[in-house]
Amino acid sequence: MPRDRRRRTMHDASSAPARDARSREGEEERMSSVSGRATATAQRPTSIDALPGPRQWPLTGNLLQMKVPRLHLQLEGWARTYGDIYHLRMAKQDVVVITRAEDIAAVLRARPETWSRPNNLASIARESAAYGVFAAEGDEWRRQRRLVMTGFDPEHLRNYMPSLVRVTRRLRNRWIVAAHAATVMNLQAELMRYSVDAASGISFGIDINTIEDERSDLHEHLKHMFPMLFRRMNLPFPYWRYFRLPSDIVYDRHIAAIHRVIQAIVEQARERLRQHPERREQPTDLLEAMLAARDADGSTLSEADIHGNVFTMLSASEDTTANTLAWTIYLLHQHPAAWTHLVAEARAVLRGEPVAQSVDQVRSLRYAEACASEAMRLRPVAPLLILDAIEDTTIREVRIPKGTRLFLAMRPAAVDESAVEAASEFRPERWLADGAGSVHSPKRLSMPFGAGPRLCPGRYLAMMEINLVLSMLARNFQLLDVSTPDGTPPEEILEFTMHPVGLRMRLTTGARAKPC
């Protein structure tokens, strides 16, 4: 069949008729059998041009059909129509979308030799002086990764506990005041303040204290970073290099404000090293380690590398940790039995303390971690990873030419009813069950921190922070309400990371509970 005629026969997954048809066909249509998938694989075309996909428009392809803030949902919808591997075109750029866990894991294991982050990401990050280990590739990434990883080893994690406990106590104090005043809090804003304070204490050895300082607007500046980066990365033409829109001017102001803070952070760290030379051999935080390496060997890290990694650690930790906590708290409020279980665990592990005091206590919070893992399965903060092929390769039998863009839709495999029992339900207990080696284990299907060589280096630290907040919340408060203003489920918005829109939280506590 000629290509144009074949594409005319395909239904656009975003159209109402397609949705109505899927609704009529019901569960049986949405779930394919194992034998059906095997047959489809055997007949898989070997060229990306022969892959199915939504109808393409002249010149622009599918570009004008894409709704970036909801792109992950759009890709998931198309996957239900066109299968676990399909083809898009963004103007002249070929895009292949994959959803199968085995394919995603194989691609992530092949980094950085075969796949890289989008080839325009590095230049966009450099324009904002935000080029760190997150955007680096190849030998540059390996060089920066070795240094950054030293800050996340088990010994350092224990050293971080006093700072994390201090920040978590402050958040508890703030929430006690809010509970006594019956204040309705902006949940995401509260958690972002916590994440910024935790990251600054651990990574840079300073106490920014945005939790108690209402005048601090650092998190307001940071929240503009990833949305603009994601938007620019998905545009076919870098217009901002030739003329500035009002949104670009506002963005520049936010970036300038962030860099003023970063410059002060770096200068404070250099002063600490001057006053305490012994820290060059035993740095107390990640920034001191980077500066000591920079001063010992100027070729190891440039000044731009240091600023870029400070920027990365501030912005990345704020978005990922805060959004994961927001989704987890929302789901716990929706499932009272899970909340009750979490309260019992927090009381048993923390005993008389309002906040966990040690790494061993945090690691004992297995149900809290299971709640977060289940939330990340259902509401992953990174539901879409974007990579570029840096050499000719294949995915199953499909040939992928160098330069092809790859969209990895991370959620479909983890919520596949044929692979996960009651996949749409919030069941933290599934993460405590045996069978972690099973091919259908959620641990294999859900990859919230990625996989392969570029697995997130801060994953253990992120889980420590999440467990600290969840156990503190369960030990000290009751959830009166966690919802949007109109009571509808929170909308998912993708701005590099995916976050809930409009969540508010209202707490209550015992009359004798006081800030400490």
The residues spanned by each domain of the chain are: 3-99, 126-508
Contact predicate 94/399, CB 8 Å: no
Report how far residue 497's alpha carbon sits from residue 367's, in angstroms, rounded to the nearest whole number.
25
Whole-model pTM: value is 0.83
Contact predicate 174/211, CB 8 Å: yes
Asked whether residue 343 carries a pLDDT value surpassing 80, the answer given is yes
Indicate the pLDDT class of residue 28, thresholds 50, 70 and 90.
very low
Report how far residue 294's alpha carbon sits from residue 306's, in angstroms, rounded to the nearest whole number.
9
Q: What is the pLDDT of residue 409?
A: 97
Q: What is the pLDDT of residue 150?
A: 62
Lowest-confidence region among 12-26, 84-98, 289-303: 12-26
Report how far residue 385's alpha carbon sits from residue 362's, in angstroms, rounded to the nearest whole number.
30
Q: What is the pLDDT of residue 438?
A: 58
CATH architecture of 126-508: Orthogonal Bundle (1.10)
- Name, in order, each residue with C-beta under 8 angstroms of 288's C-beta and a sequence gap of 6 or more: 205, 269, 272, 273, 279, 280
Report how far residue 448's alpha carbon sits from residue 426's, in angstroms, rounded to the nearest whole number.
16
Indicate the pLDDT class of residue 301, thresholds 50, 70 and 90.
low
Return the DSSP state at 253: H
Indicate the pLDDT class of residue 285, thresholds 50, 70 and 90.
confident
- 223 strand-pairing partners: none
Report how far residue 66's alpha carbon sits from residue 57's, in angstroms, rounded to the nearest whole number.
12
Indicate the pLDDT class of residue 101, thresholds 50, 70 and 90.
very high
50-73 pLDDT tens trace? 999 999 999 999 999 998 889 999
Q: What is the pLDDT of residue 29?
A: 35
Q: What is the pLDDT of residue 318?
A: 67
Burial class (CB in 10 A: 0-12, 13-18, 19+), 24: exposed
**SS3 state of residue 505:** strand
Report how far residue 478's alpha carbon sits from residue 476's, in angstroms, rounded to the nearest whole number.
7
Report how far residue 471's alpha carbon sits from residue 15's, in angstroms, rounded to the nearest whole number.
44
Return the DSSP state at 489: P
Q: What is the pLDDT of residue 300?
A: 60
Asked whether residue 35 carries a pLDDT value surpassing 80, the answer given is no
**SS3 state of residue 244:** coil
Report how far residue 53's alpha carbon sits from residue 89's, in angstroms, rounded to the nearest whole number.
9
| Nearest partner of 419 among 399, 394, 436, 440, judged by Cα | 440
Report how far residue 186's alpha carbon sits from residue 81's, in angstroms, rounded to the nearest whole number.
37
